[in-house]
């Protein structure tokens, strides 16, 4: 496919040439294009001034939506090794015709055994996108992560023990990768699919080592989270950015990111299929509450840092509900947020409160629909299937069901394959799909910048609770907090008393 073919197949889009890694300097902008690009800057600048709608990130996903509406037939991949990619004008692109294609699936990871639970939790709490400390005490993060992971490990391990002694995430994600490889091959693309986990094996670093060994030249990066959150896809992309920057060999690797994909027809359709299948198991399918339960994030992520997660989640639910309705079910539905950690406020309503409220108001049948994750994991198998089910029964709900995770659902996997094929022409390029889609798709740094400025304003849940316990002051005194935190952790480590656990209400 040459440039003109590509532009024809992506009608309405202006494609910009590849730029040197991590520099977004669109060179072939039209006058109108320049105005539009300025618009991106304006959006980003606007976003630093306070808690507003995260338009810029919204548009990252609109860009993805625009890509995703491109039918596969518009992009006809050539057979395997003869794949032609776009000659976008950049020097690097000259190599693209026979470059090996890789797909990197990003996911959270989970402990394989009970012994892995504490070190897994350590990795999680050591992530500055999960716990943000003010600059002056950043150096304490490893110590804090150690204290928190040690305090939480027994409770977490109990949960993992109840689902078979470890997380099923590793094997399920590998199965998804295998299924995606097959689906891509059936669609004409011979690609290697890699799994890169954020907090456990196989780590993202391990995946990238393999990518180097395999001499991959074009990489499509696909976080396995349908909706974008700073704490999930954002964290993985930030790590990737760091690795790509530091590794000489990887700097030649051209890539593109699919930031979120909750709006894709295949994903929405597969979710609607599963919901309708489960509804038929109830005595009165039309009178079942559709109870969407999403993993929560601290409220400040959305309201202060501009995380688009809530907005994308709400849009996702409305698309699924509309699809379910098209199939003849007009059931009432609720969206609630689960898996809160620590004492700060998370997105509301909380799942447990909603279940009790619905029960109190006379709901007798409930179908739980997990939506923020596409594999079974501890929060579906333990939290929903055990804890919330029990709570529902205690709240007077007589009929209970749960929609299974998509795992390797064929419609879903084929849709992911289509998403990869549609993204492939954008590898190493910056795409400006339409007036409504201004955020560059091509470079990690450009994508990350879309949230980075606001992320700096992100208050840490831990910072907040330490504030409450130590100084109960209106203003944050960094030095005092640093000393206090250090003292607490030291006393806890010395005495074995769970001071932090008590403060953070981790039980």
Ligand X SMILES: C=CC1=C(C)c2cc3[nH]c(cc4nc(cc5[nH]c(cc1n2)c(C)c5CCC(=O)O)C(CCC(=O)O)=C4C)c(C)c3C=C
Answer whether 329's CB lies under 8 Å from 286's CB: yes
Residues 6+ apart with CB under 8 A from 187: 72, 77, 417, 418, 421
Which CB atom, from 297 or from 470, has the smaller least distance to ligand X?
Answer: 297
Distance separating alpha carbons of residues 38 and 44, to the nearest angstrom: 10
In angstroms, what is the minimal distance from the CB of 303 to ligand X? 14
In angstroms, what is the minimal distance from the CB of 334 to ligand X? 18
Which CB atom, from 160 or from 291, has the smaller least distance to ligand X?
Answer: 160
Which CB atom, from 229 or from 363, has the smaller least distance to ligand X?
Answer: 229
Binding region for ligand X (CB under 6 A) out of 72-80, 216-224, 290-298, 483-491: 290-298
Q: Which of 377, 432, 455, 501 binds ligand X (CB under 6 A)?
A: 377
Distances (CA, A) of 300 to 178, 309, 342, 461: 37, 12, 13, 9
Q: Which of 169, 219, 427, 462 binds ligand X (CB under 6 A)?
A: 169
* Widest pairwise Cα distance in the chain: 70
Distance separating alpha carbons of residues 300 and 51, to the nearest angstrom: 9
Which CB atom, from 199 or from 426, has the smaller least distance to ligand X?
Answer: 199
Cα-trace Rg, the chain:
23
Which CB atom, from 312 or from 422, has the smaller least distance to ligand X?
Answer: 312
Answer whether 119's CB lies under 8 Å from 203's CB: no
Binding region for ligand X (CB under 6 A) out of 57-65, 295-303, 406-414, 435-443: 295-303
Binding region for ligand X (CB under 6 A) out of 2-10, 60-68, 180-188, 224-232: 224-232
Site for ligand X in 140-159 (CB under 6 A): 152, 156
Distance separating alpha carbons of residues 279 and 368, to the nearest angstrom: 11
User: What backbone torsions phi and psi does residue 215 show, to the nearest 5 degrees?
Assistant: 60, 40
Distance separating alpha carbons of residues 111 and 113, to the nearest angstrom: 6
In angstroms, what is the minimal distance from the CB of 267 to ligand X? 14
In angstroms, what is the minimal distance from the CB of 232 to ligand X? 5
Distance separating alpha carbons of residues 383 and 22, to the nearest angstrom: 41
- Cα dihedral angle (65, 379, 489, 154), rounded to 10 degrees? -160
Binding of residue 225 to ligand X (CB under 6 A): yes
x/- letters, 86..115, toward ligand X (CB under 6 A): ----------------------x-x-----
Binding of residue 460 to ligand X (CB under 6 A): no
In angstroms, what is the minimal distance from the CB of 168 to ligand X? 7
Q: Which of 290, 378, 439, 447 binds ligand X (CB under 6 A)?
A: 378
Q: Which of 67, 319, 341, 469 binds ligand X (CB under 6 A)?
A: 341
Query: Which residue's CB atom is positioned nearest to ligand X?
Result: 110
In angstroms, what is the minimal distance from the CB of 257 to ligand X? 17
SS3 487: helix
Beta-strand pair 430-432/14-16: antiparallel
Q: Which of 36, 254, 255, 295 binds ligand X (CB under 6 A)?
A: 295
Distance separating alpha carbons of residues 305 and 322, to the nearest angstrom: 30
Which CB atom, from 47 or from 231, has the smaller least distance to ligand X?
Answer: 231
Q: Which of 130, 172, 220, 416 binds ligand X (CB under 6 A)?
A: 130
Which CB atom, from 152 or from 254, has the smaller least distance to ligand X?
Answer: 152
Q: Which of 61, 85, 118, 229 binds ligand X (CB under 6 A)?
A: 229
Answer whether 415's CB lies under 8 Å from 406's CB: no
In angstroms, what is the minimal distance from the CB of 127 to ligand X? 9
Binding of residue 231 to ligand X (CB under 6 A): yes
Binding region for ligand X (CB under 6 A) out of 1-9, 294-302, 349-357, 433-441: 294-302
Compute how many other C-beta atoms are within 10 angstroms of the C-beta atom of residue 405. 20
Distance separating alpha carbons of residues 112 and 165, to the nearest angstrom: 8
Distance separating alpha carbons of residues 504 and 237, to the nearest angstrom: 28
Site for ligand X in 432-451 (CB under 6 A): none
CA-closest candidate to residue 200, choices 126, 142, 145, 120: 120
Answer whether 272's CB lies under 8 Å from 320's CB: yes
Distance separating alpha carbons of residues 143 and 150, to the nearest angstrom: 11
In angstroms, what is the minimal distance from the CB of 173 to ligand X? 10
Size of the site for ligand X (CB under 6 A): 22
Binding of residue 372 to ligand X (CB under 6 A): yes
Where along the sequence are the contacts to ligand X (CB under 6 A)? 108, 110, 121, 124, 130, 152, 156, 167, 169, 225, 229, 231-232, 295, 297-298, 341, 372-373, 377-379
């Amino acid at each position: 496919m040459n440039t003109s073919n590509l532009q024809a197949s992506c009608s309405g889009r202006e494609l910009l040439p590849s730029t040197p890694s991590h520099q977004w300097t669109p060179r072939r902008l039209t006058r109108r294009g320049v105005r539009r690009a300025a618009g991106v800057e304006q959006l980003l600048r606007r976003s630093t001034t306070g808690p507003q709608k995260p338009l810029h990130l919204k548009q990252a996903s609109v860009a993805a939506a625009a890509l995703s509406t491109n039918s596969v037939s518009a992009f006809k991949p050539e057979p395997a090794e003869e794949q032609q990619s776009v000659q976008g004008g950049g020097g690097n692109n000259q190599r693209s015709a026979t470059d090996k294609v890789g797909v990197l699936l990003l996911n959270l990871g989970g402990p394989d055994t009970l012994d892995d639970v504490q070190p897994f939790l350590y990795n999680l709490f050591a992530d500055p996108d999960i716990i943000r400390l003010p600059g002056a005490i950043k150096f304490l993060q490893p110590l804090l992560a150690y204290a928190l992971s040690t305090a939480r490990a027994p409770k977490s391990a109990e949960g993992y023990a109840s689902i078979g002694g470890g997380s099923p995430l590793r094997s399920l994600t590998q199965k998804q990768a295998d299924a995606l490889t097959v689906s891509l091959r059936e669609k004409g693309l011979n690609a290697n699919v890699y799994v890169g986990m954020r907090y456990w094996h196989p780590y993202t670093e391990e995946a990238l080592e393999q990518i180097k060994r395999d001499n991959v030249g074009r990489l499509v990066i696909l976080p396995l989270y349908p909706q974008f959150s700073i704490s999930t896809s954002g964290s993985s992309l930030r790590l990737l950015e760091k690795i790509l920057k530091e590794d000489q060999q990887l700097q030649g690797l051209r890539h593109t990111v699919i930031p979120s994909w909750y709006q894709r027809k295949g994903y929405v359709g597969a979710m609607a299929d599963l919901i309708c299948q489960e509804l038929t198991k109830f005595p009165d399918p039309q009178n079942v509450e559709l109870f969407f339960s999403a993993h929560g994030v601290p409220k400040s992520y959305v309201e202060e840092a501009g995380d688009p997660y809530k907005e994308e989640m709400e849009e996702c639910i409305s698309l699924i509900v509309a699809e379910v309705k098209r199939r003849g079910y007009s059931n009432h539905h609720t969206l609630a947020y689960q898996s809160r950690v620590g004492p700060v406020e998370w997105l509301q309503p909380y799942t447990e409160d909603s279940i009790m409220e619905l029960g109190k108001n006379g709901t007798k049948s409930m179908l739980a629909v997990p939506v923020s994750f596409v594999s079974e994991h501890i929060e579906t198998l333990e939290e929903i299937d055990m804890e919330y089910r029990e709570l529902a029964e205690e709240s007077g709900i007589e009929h209970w069901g749960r929609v299974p995770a998509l795992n390797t659902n064929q419609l879903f996997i084929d849709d992911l394959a289509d998403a990869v094929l549609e993204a492939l022409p954008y590898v190493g390029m910056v795409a400006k799909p339409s007036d409504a889609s201004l955020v560059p798709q091509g470079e990690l740094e450009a994508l990350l910048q879309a949230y980075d400025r606001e992320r700096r304003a992100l208050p840490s849940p831990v910072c907040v609770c330490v504030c409450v316990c130590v100084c109960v002051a209106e203003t944050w005194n960094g030095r005092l907090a640093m000393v206090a935190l250090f003292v607490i952790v030291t006393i806890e480590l010395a005495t074995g008393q769970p001071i932090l656990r008590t403060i953070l209400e981790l039980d």
